[in-house]
């Protein structure tokens, strides 16, 4: 009986000791709180990230990394299963980034929410609904540095091609051509110097010519004004003739029975004057300058000096 009692006591003590050890281990690892499991999907390297690494939500410790493995459907995708506290506000707009702790190089997971979708994300340890992992600032800086180095290499190759022996020779020939062109321009400038010196004299001559042209234009304007005055005088003569004709008609109707013979003579005289006036107007229309300079001389007749036989005529 005593052996059985000792055995029972030893078993109970072993169980209590094991439970105590488990409790202490859970307390030390922080797993005494209820947790939810989520899966992160990373298409970028997760250098420095290890199991049991910290998981933070906006800088607050909320859990740890449990498993890191490759996606069996796509080996370029890395799956990271994390366990976080149940009160962590994981939504459909939550994303993850990797951060580095000091100079140790150890990485941790930092969760954040961009607010694009406030729907709460249910726990899914199988990874049906995954949380995307975005590039961190250091990753973007590293990628930008790589792109910068690649661009620098391409630029160096282009510069090497630009500074080849053939291009250098072409550049030297271009400089020589420019020097020759500069020498020719100096020679042309020296030859053009006398012509530039004569420009003031040419300018004075041009001014004199313009002054004479102004005088000639003034003379032409005066002649045009005189001609216009002559035409006005002719118009006044024509109006006077019309008035005389009207007065004559009135006088003829008033004294038709008394002075008919003299009226007929007067009418004939007026008719002759009217014909002469018509001839004068016709001559002025043909030769307007005759009003100012006089009637032109008639063409010389046969036997007169200056007579010439018309073409096709007989002398």
Instruction: Pinpoint the alpha helices (H) of 198-286.
Output: 199-254, 260-286
Give the percent of the chain with pLDDT over 90: 7
Binning pLDDT at 50, 70 and 90, where does residue 28 land? low
Question: Read out DSSP for 81-148?
Answer: EEEEETTS--BTTEEEEEEE-TTT--EEEEEEE-SS--PBPPP-TT-SSPEEEPPPHHHHHHHHHHHH
What per-residue confidence (pLDDT) applies to 269? Answer: 75
Among residues 152, 109, 154, the alpha carbon closest in space to that of 132 is found at 109
Residue 291 has pLDDT above 60, yes or no: no
Distance CA 31, CA 51 (A): 14
Look over the chain and give the mean of its residue pLDDT values, rounded to a whole number. Answer: 75
| Whole-structure pTM value | 0.40
- Name the helix (H) or strand (E) containing 67: strand 60-71
Mean pLDDT for the stretch of residues 6-16: 73
Integer angstrom CA distances of residue 23 from 16, 65, 310? 10, 21, 150
**Mean pLDDT to the nearest integer, 62-88:** 90
- Report pLDDT for 281: 67
Provide mean pLDDT across the span 28-52: 80
- Rounded Cα distance between 72 and 57, Å, is 28
pLDDT tens digits, one per residue of 46-65: 888 889 889 999 888 999 99
> For 226-285, how does the pLDDT look when each residue is reduced to its tens digit (9 = 90+)?
767 766 666 776 676 677 666 656 655 655 556 566 666 777 777 776 777 777 666 666
- Please give the residue that has the higher pLDDT: either 160 or 6: 160
Instruction: Output the DSSP codes for 32-55.
Output: TS-EEEEEEEESS--TT--TT-EE
CA dist 140 and 284 (Å) reads 102
Candidates 79, 72, 73; CA nearest to 44 is: 79
Cβ-Cβ contacts under 8 Å for 84 (sequence gap 6 or more): 35, 36, 38, 55, 57, 62, 63, 90, 111
């Amino acid at each position: 009986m005593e052996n059985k009692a000792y055995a029972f006591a030893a078993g109970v003590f072993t169980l209590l000791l094991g439970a105590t050890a488990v409790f202490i281990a859970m307390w030390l690892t922080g797993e005494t709180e209820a947790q939810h499991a989520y899966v992160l999907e990373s298409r970028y390297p997760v250098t420095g990230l290890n199991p049991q690494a910290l998981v933070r939500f906006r800088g607050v410790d909320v859990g740890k990394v449990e498993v890191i493995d490759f996606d069996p459907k796509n080996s370029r995708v890395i799956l990271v299963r994390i366990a976080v506290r149940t009160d962590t506000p994981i939504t459909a707009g939550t994303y993850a980034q990797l951060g580095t702790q000091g100079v140790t190089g150890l990485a941790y997971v930092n969760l954040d929410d961009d607010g694009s979708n406030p729907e709460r994300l249910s726990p899914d340890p199988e990874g049906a609904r995954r949380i995307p992992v975005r590039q961190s600032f250091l990753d973007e800086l590293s990628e930008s540095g790589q792109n910068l180095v690649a661009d620098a290499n391409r630029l160096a190759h282009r510069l090497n091609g630009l500074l080849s022996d053939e291009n250098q020779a072409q550049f030297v020939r271009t400089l020589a051509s420019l020097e020759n062109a500069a020498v020719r321009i100096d020679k042309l400038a020296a030859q053009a110097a006398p012509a530039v010196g004569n420009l003031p004299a040419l300018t004075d001559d041009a001014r004199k010519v313009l002054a004479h042209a102004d005088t000639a234009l003034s003379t032409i304007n005066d002649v045009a004004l005189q001609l216009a005055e002559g035409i006005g005088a002719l118009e006044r003569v024509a109006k006077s003739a019309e008035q005389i004709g009207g007065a004559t008609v009135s006088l003829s109707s008033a004294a038709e029975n008394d002075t008919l013979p003299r009226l007929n003579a007067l009418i004939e005289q007026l008719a002759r004057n009217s014909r002469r006036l018509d001839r004068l107007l016709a001559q002025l229309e043909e030769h307007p300058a005759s009003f100012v300079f006089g009637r032109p001389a008639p063409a010389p007749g046969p036997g007169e000096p200056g007579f010439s036989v018309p073409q096709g005529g007989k002398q």
